[in-house]
Amino acid sequence: MEATAQEVAEWMVKETRFKGMLYQTDAIEYIRSHFGEHFVFVNEKGNTSLSKEVIKAFRKLHGGKIAWERDSFMWAWT
Structural domains counted in the chain? 1
**Domain range holding 72?**
5-77
Q: What is the pLDDT along the chain (78 residues), one digit of tens a residue?
A: 789 999 999 999 999 999 999 999 999 999 999 999 999 999 999 999 999 999 999 999 999 999 999 999 999 999
CATH of the domain at 63: 1.10.10
- pLDDT of 1 reads 78
- pLDDT of 46 reads 94
Residue among 47, 52, 58 nearest 12 (CA): 58
Measured CA to CA, the distance from residue 57 to residue 61 in angstroms comes to: 6
- pLDDT of 64 reads 96
Burial of residue 39, with CB atoms counted within 10 A of its CB: 0-12 exposed, 13-18 middle, 19 or more buried: buried
